[in-house]
Amino acid sequence: MEDVLHGKPEMDRILGSCFGKLFELPVRRCSYSSVMIHTLLARQLVTKKRYEAWPVFGGNPLRFSMVEFGRVTGLSCGEFEEGYVVDMKPKYKEKDYAYWDKLYDGRRDITIPDVVKMVTEDLTISRSRRLKLCLIIIVDGVLITSTQPARPTLKHVKRVESLKNFLAFQWGEGVILLDSERHDSTQEDNGGMQ
């Protein structure tokens, strides 16, 4: 995505948003990062604090909370707007798909790789639509991947209709909270085992 949008207004808008710092992370230079992250995730202390992880590295516990997550990613970890509800299995009606159908040309089975293909190959897409598709790729394809293959979520597609609201959303809080909810539901499915 970064290569395709290099030097374009859409990329400038993303880099100037809450997601800009994600593009500063030295992902390509961290060849051992996946092994280290797996090690950090596999060995954790169990605590009662819901939004903190305490990985053990070299025999020493390290605190990783929303504060650290926000500092590393640049994502805002403040309070959600009034009325926002985290729902892992929301029920939608047909009318809720109006903007989805407009954004994805009526494709309900679209995956994030399909969206990437749209952004990189379809040169007729408007700048506004391309920007919105890229934001969905970042959120549902990188930050909050809940399915394999990764798919856009209707809640985020509805939110991206208003760029102002989408970019003002507390994405850091959302990532941590959704990951925590997903972790809790996995524990329940496994009979409480970690």
DSSP assignment of 86-102: --SS----GGGGHHHHH
Average pLDDT taken over every residue of the chain: 80
Q: What's the rounded Cα separation, in Å, for the pair 157 and 190?
A: 31
Asked if residue 22 lies in contact with residue 73, where contact means CB atoms within 8 angstroms, the answer is: yes
Residue 62 identity (one-letter amino acid): L
Q: What angle do CA 25, 177, 32 make, to 5 degrees?
A: 30
At 10 the pLDDT is 92
- Domain range list for the chain: 2-189
At 104 the pLDDT is 96
At 168 the pLDDT is 87
Q: What angle do CA 158, 160, 164 make, to 5 degrees?
A: 125
Q: What global pTM score does this model have?
A: 0.76
Which of 7-16, 99-108, 135-144, 165-174 shows the lowest mean pLDDT across its residues?
A: 165-174
**What is the mean predicted confidence (pLDDT) over 145-171?**
89
Asked if residue 119 lies in contact with residue 130, where contact means CB atoms within 8 angstroms, the answer is: yes
Indicate whether 41 pLDDT > 80.
no
DSSP of 98-109, one letter per residue? HHHHHHTTT-SS
Higher per-residue pLDDT: 41 or 83: 83
Residue-wise over 51-80: b if at least 16 C-beta within 10 A, else e?
ebbbbeeeeeeeebebeebbeebbbbbeee
Tell me the three state secondary structure of residue 10.
helix
At 3 the pLDDT is 82
- Dihedral sign from CA coordinates of 128, 175, 56, 193: negative
At 193 the pLDDT is 38
